[in-house]
Amino acid sequence: MNALKQLLVVSLMNFRNLRRRMDSSLVAVAGFAGVVLVVVAILSIRAGFHATLATTGSPDVAIVLRGGAGSEVNSVLGGNQSFTIGQAPGVAQDQSGAIVSPELLVQISLKKRASGLQSSVSFRGVTADAFKVHAKVHIVSGRMFKPGLNEVIVGAEAAHLFQGVQLGDTLHTGRYHWQVVGIFDDGGGLHNSEIWTSLPVLQGAYQRGNSVSSMYAKLTSAAVFPAFKESLEHNPQLNVSVQRESDYFAGQAQGMSLFIGIVGAIIAVLMGGGAVFGAVNTMYTAVAARTQEIAMLRALGFGRMPVLASVLIEALVLGLVGGVCGGVLAYLLFNGFQATTFNSLTIIAFRFAVTPQLLGWGLAYALVMGLLGGLLPAVRAVRLPIAASLRQS
C-alpha cells in the first residue's frame, strides 16, 4: 500500500510540472501520433480491400473456371457446360431449375472522371440466374436492363468513378452503344466496380459465340461444396477448376494483402524506431530536469520502484496521448476514403476501412513505443546518486 501511495504522489508531481517540459513532451507525442497515423492508414487500405472482397464472396456459392485459369479474366468455358454443372450434386434448385449463372467477362477501357486516365473496367454479361447467385445485387436507381437490348446497369462505384456511365448516358465502346438504364449496388462488394448487361447481347458484341468466362452455382449449403467440387473436377468431359466463391476472392486479395502487410511492418518498425529514440531523448530530459527533485524524494525515504514506475507512467501517458491522436486523425482523414486498385487486369474500387481493431492495435503499439522510450531513462532515474544530485545546483 505504501509503495502505491508513493507512486501516486510522485506521478502527480510529475504531471503537475509537465507544463514546464511541454515542448519536449509534445515532440514525443507527435512522434507516436505520426507512427500510429501512418501505420493505421496503410493497414486500413488492406482492411478496406478485404472487406470489399469478403462482401462479394459467399461460402455457399461455387465458381467454376477453366482448369489452370487463375482468374475469370483468363477463363473460357463452353456455354453448354452449364447443364452438366447444374446436374452436379448439391446445386440449389428453384421453380426454373438448377441455379447456375453463366457469366462472360470482357474488359473495356473507360476514362476516370477525376484524372481522365484510361482504366480497364469489367463488363459482365449475365442472365436472370445471376441475381439469384449474387443476391446482394439490387437496383438503386433507374431500372433493370431488358434482355436482348443494348442496355446496361452500372455499379454504384463505377458510376462514381468513370465518365459517361451515369444514369441516362450512352456508353460507347468499340462499335457499340449501350444505354445506361440503371445503377446497382451489391452492398459494398466487387461488383460495384462493374458494368452488367444481358449475356447473349455481350456474347454477340464481342464475337464470343456461346462461350462464357465462368459459371457460378448456388449450393444447397456450404457443406456440400466438397462433393460438388469432386464431381466436376473428376468429370472427364470437363476440364475445370472449382472454388468456393469466398476462397476465390480471398485468393485474389492475397498478393496485395501480403504486400501491404510487409510495407506496413517496415514502416511500423522503422518509423516506430525513430519515434522511440525521440521519446528516449524526451524522457532523459525529463529525468535530467528533475534530478534534484528525485534525489530529494529518495532522501525522504521514497523507494526505487515508485520513482522507476513514475517515469514509465509518464512515458506511457505520452504514448497513450500520441496513440489516441494518431488513431483519431487516421479515422478522420482516411475512413471511407475511396481508392481503386488493379487486380487481374480489372479495376476494383474500395474504401479504406479504419476498423476498431486497427485502432486498438495502433494504441497498443503506441503504448509499447512509450514503454520502450521510458525504460532507459527510468533506470537512470533510480540510479542517480542521491548525495551528489542533491549537491548539484
CB of 219 closer than 8 Å to CB of 62: yes
Longest dimension (CA), the chain: 95
In this complex, which beta carbon is closest to other proteins, that of residue 7 or of residue 312? Answer: 312
| Least distance in angstroms from the C-beta of 228 to other proteins | 22
Q: Which residue has the cell 477453366?
A: 66
Of 78-86, 227-235, 257-265, 313-321, the window that binds other proteins (rule: CB under 8 A) is 257-265
Asked if 127 touches other proteins (CB under 8 A), the answer is no
Subset of 134-173 contacting other proteins (CB under 8 A): 173
**Does the protein bind other proteins through residue 342 (CB under 8 A)?**
yes
Taking the complex as a whole, the smallest distance from the CB of residue 12 to other proteins amounts, in Å, to: 25
Sign of CA dihedral 366, 277, 261, 322: positive
Three-state secondary-structure class, residue 383: helix
Report d(CA 323, CA 326) in Å as an integer.
5
Yes or no: say if 84 and 235 are a contact pair by the CB < 8 Å rule: yes
Is 324 a binding residue for other proteins by CB under 8 A? The answer is no
Number of alpha helices (DSSP H) and beta strands (DSSP E) in the chain = 12, 16
* DSSP string of 316-328, one letter each residue: HHHHHHHHHHHHH
Could you tell me where the DSSP H helices lie in 211-303?
225-233, 245-289, 291-299
Which span (52-60, 71-79, 143-151, 161-169) binds other proteins, by CB under 8 A?
A: 71-79
How many residues bind other proteins (CB under 8 A)? The answer is 57
Q: Which of residues 211-250 bind other proteins (CB under 8 A)?
A: 239
213 CA to centre of own chain:
27
Binding mask 172-211 for other proteins (x = CB under 8 A): -xxx------------------------------x-----
Residue 340 makes contact with other proteins by CB under 8 A: yes
Of the two residues 109 and 170, which places its CB atom closer to other proteins in the complex? 109
Rule CB under 8 A: say whether 264 interacts with other proteins: no
Which residues lie below 8 Å from residue 190, measured CB to CB, with a gap of 6+?
A: 52, 53, 55, 56, 249, 348
Per CB under 8 A, 345 contacts other proteins = yes
One of 339, 364, 386, 388 touching other proteins (CB under 8 A): 339
- Does position 37 interact with other proteins (CB under 8 A)? The reply is yes
Contact at 8 Å (CB) between 183 and 159? Answer: yes
If the CB atoms of residues 251 and 303 are measured against other proteins, the closer one turns out to be: 251
Work out which of 30, 139, 296, 320 binds other proteins, going by CB under 8 A. Answer: 30
Q: Binding to other proteins by residue 58, rule CB under 8 A? A: no
Provide the strand spans (E) within the chain.
61-66, 77-78, 93-94, 97-98, 100-111, 118-126, 138-142, 151-155, 170-173, 176-185, 195-198, 211-212, 214-218, 240-244, 338-343, 346-351
Question: Rounded distance, CA 358 to CA 249, Å?
Answer: 22
Kindly give, in sequence order, each residue whose CB lies less than 8 Å from that of residue 254, ignoring residues fewer than 6 positions away.
none
Task: Give whichever of 65 and 133 is closer to other proteins, judged by the CB atom.
Answer: 65
Task: Please state the closest distance from residue 363 (CB atom) to other proteins, in A.
Answer: 18
Rounded-to-integer distance, Cα 61 and Cα 225, Å: 8
Taking residues 280 to 309 in sequence order and writing x for each that binds other proteins by CB under 8 A, - otherwise, the string is xxx-xx------------------------
Q: Which residue's CB is nearer to other proteins, number 99 or number 271?
A: 271
Let me know: does 170 contact 180? Beta carbons within 8 Å.
yes
Q: Which residues sit at the interface with other proteins, rule CB under 8 A?
A: 23-24, 27, 30-31, 34-35, 37-38, 42, 68-71, 73-74, 76, 106-109, 115, 117-120, 173-175, 206, 239, 254-255, 258-259, 262-263, 266-267, 270-271, 273-275, 277-278, 280-282, 284-285, 339-342, 345, 347
